Amino acid sequence: MKRLIPTLRADACEESLISVLNTVQTAAKEIAFRLHQGAMAGVLGSTLDENIQGETQKKLDVVANQLLKDLLLECQYVHAVASEEEDSIVVGDQRGEYLIAFDPLDGSSNIDINGLVGTIFSVLPRPAGIEGEEMFLQPGKNQVAAGYVLYGPSTMLVLTTGQSVRMYTLDQTVGEFLLTKPEVKIPHQTQEFAINMSNKRHWSTAMHEYISDLLAGKEGPREKNFNMRWIAAMVGDVHRVLSRGGLFTYPWDKRKPNKPFKLRLLYEANPMAMLVEKADGLATDGYDPIMTIQPTDIHQRVGVVLGSKEEVESCMAYHANHPKPF
């Protein structure tokens, strides 16, 4: 098994990008330690505050965000960061060449039940002649790296720098991420999907019809049985897709016309889309590739359908029969 740094060099990454990614994994090790300590570290439970999304923050949301923000802004190659937990961007080194967008702790509602959670991150180039939040308003295809850290029975880093997707596992004995899967490929076909079924009555007609046909199984129009899996943390559900195939979706729903989507484009949908597509899968909002969407706000939300190529295409075919609800 190989350590993180030599493997990245084999991919001909810039030294500056290696430094940024190593900063992320340094923060991830500390977050993993706090999580594994659980109640002993005093990180369980909620705060009395809400983040910019209007969501009540967990104590570890705040800790993870502060760790990532502080360490990344100390890196000379990072110009600015954007986080789910921050109202606006935070600027670091004026000479830095990279922008980092991150969800410090995806699935934080799972913390208190000892469930899967993770850190998702996206690395963008700093555009010339642009300052402020507008710097981050780049389509996902501009990403130079993307990945996540999954805090589970083992702590895993899943990463792409634009070529293959690789999986690393944290070796607790030496404190290093070691390469454990050098190339991830998603099977094109699947009989497994992940969606929050409790929201079915709120979905668009296209998604309602698609999921109904999956549930009809072998006797239905798809003529095969499907299993449903739902972890309630995007990082866990996408990890399953990368590990054995499947489809993950968090679609449009009609409950809040001013907030019809759940997942954020910059620091959830885009990095996951890059990982999935570099692993030979597809990622779309149901109609268009996620990584072609032009952001208009750093906290913009978007519909997500990603995973095994042929199944995503099947889902898109249902959507093609209906107009966009958004």
Please give the annotated binding residues, written as ranges.
84, 103, 105-109, 196, 262, 268
Q: Left if phi > 0, otherwise alpha if psi is -120 to 50, otherwise beta: which for 119?
A: beta
**Binding residue numbers for Mg(2+):** 84, 103, 105-106, 268
**Binding residue numbers for substrate:** 106-109, 196, 262
Alpha carbon of residue 74 to chain centroid: 24
Q: Which amino acid is at 310?
A: E
Distances in Å between the Cα of 271 and the Cα atoms of 132, 144, 149, 266, 268 are 21, 10, 12, 7, 6
Looking at the chain, the number of H-run helices and the number of E-run strands are: 7, 17
Q: Please give the structure tokens belonging to residue 10.
A: 């084999």
For the packed helices 205-215 and 309-320, what is the interaxial angle rounded to 10 degrees?
Answer: 130
Within 13 Å and on the Cβ side, how many CA atoms surround 181?
19
Q: What gap in Å lies between CA 193 and CA 306, rounded to an integer?
A: 10
Q: What gap in Å lies between CA 140 and CA 290, rounded to an integer?
A: 7
Q: What gap in Å lies between CA 170 and CA 153, rounded to an integer?
A: 11
Q: What gap in Å lies between CA 136 and CA 295, rounded to an integer?
A: 8
